[in-house]
Amino acid sequence: MIWAQVVTTAPCPLCHPLIDAQDHVVGYHHKLSLLSLVGGALVLPLDVEPYGPGESEQAASGRVLQRGVAALGRRFAQYVVGDGLYASAPFLHAAGDLALHPIVRLKANLPTLLAAAEARFTARPPLMTLEIEGDRVELWDADDFDPWDALRWPTVRVLRYCQHHRDGTLVDAYWLTDFPATRFSTPTLYRLAKSRWTIENQGFNDAKTRYGLDHMSHHHPNSLLLHWLLVALALTIERLYRLRYLHRGLHAPSTPIQFLRRLRLSLGVPVLDTG
């Protein structure tokens, strides 16, 4: 998962040029991969890995994933979820070597598998239809698709969902995994695949709009990395405090703005002079 920060000052080693349609450099931006804990009520950023113009998102994500698993232990997580960029044999094998099951979006970059899944699933009715948070969700699931040549899995499990929103829009998406169907049911696999969006919403979006991820106090790779790590740490501490510590009891967890208002009010409490 990447995030891009637009830069207007002189480039640093982490700067990627922004090119317009006429091949002119019109600015620069920074990119980083974010490793985030997902799947439960608490979404926590774990680590970041910046990468420069000569590197790929996939390589940076591979490094931050290795570091995260080494720090947290192999049994900490069961799966890793990512978008279609990660649907390549090297990444899927690397995840397997870390004892993680990959759940990755299946798109046109794997045309043979996508065509096989479309042909099979569009020719038959859904396996099940569920009502999830007001949306009608149709699910197809099969675990006997052929792997492509470079992939060492015996078979590939493919999930398709058609999510009919109340406003009439439709999301039709395919995902691939090596999770056996006996281990996770179709609705559970759907929920795990959807957890990918919490990285975007509660990771980059929150960090940018509420925590100043875009702020750049000094345009230097070390300074940028420290700032990004401090934002991730601040986000983690705030979320743990607000959603776990303050949530003790029967009341609903406070929203970030409720928490901020309480904090400001508490700062205005007069200090008693006990001398």
Specify the residue, 164 or 208, whose C-beta has the smaller distance to Zn ion.
208
> Which residues are CB-contacts of 275 (< 8 A; sequence separation ≥ 6)?
none
- The region of 8-16, 43-51, 160-168, 255-263 touching Zn ion under the rule CB under 5 A is 8-16
Tell me the two tokens of residue 179: 């999770």
- The region of 14-22, 74-82, 102-110, 173-181 touching Zn ion under the rule CB under 5 A is 14-22
Of 1, 12, 48, 114, which one interacts with Zn ion (CB under 5 A)? 12
Handedness of CA 39, 45, 47, 49 (dihedral sign): positive
Specify the residue, 4 or 237, whose C-beta has the smaller distance to Zn ion.
4
Minimum distance of Zn ion from residue 234's CB (angstroms): 22
> Which residues are CB-contacts of 119 (< 8 A; sequence separation ≥ 6)?
none
Residue nearest to Zn ion as judged by C-beta position? 12
Residues 195-214 close enough to bind Zn ion by CB under 5 A: none
Q: With contact defined as beta carbons under 8 Å apart, do 65 and 80 qualify?
A: yes
Specify the residue, 13 or 253, whose C-beta has the smaller distance to Zn ion.
13
Specify the residue, 6 or 237, whose C-beta has the smaller distance to Zn ion.
6
Minimum distance of Zn ion from residue 29's CB (angstroms): 8
Residue 32 binds Zn ion (CB under 5 A): no
d(CA 163, CA 204): 24
- The region of 5-13, 172-180, 201-209, 245-253 touching Zn ion under the rule CB under 5 A is 5-13
Specify the residue, 164 or 219, whose C-beta has the smaller distance to Zn ion.
219
Give the DSSP letter string of 62-129.
HHHHHHHHHHH-TTS-SEEEE-GGG-SHHHHHHHHHTT-EEEEEE-TTSHHHHHHHHHHHHTS--SEE
Of 1, 5, 15, 31, which one interacts with Zn ion (CB under 5 A)? 15
Q: Are strands 44-51 and 79-82 parallel, antiparallel or unpaired?
A: unpaired
> Which residues are CB-contacts of 61 (< 8 A; sequence separation ≥ 6)?
1, 33, 35, 49, 82, 86, 91
Minimum distance of Zn ion from residue 219's CB (angstroms): 6
Q: Where do contacts with Zn ion occur on this chain (CB under 5 A)?
A: 12, 14-15
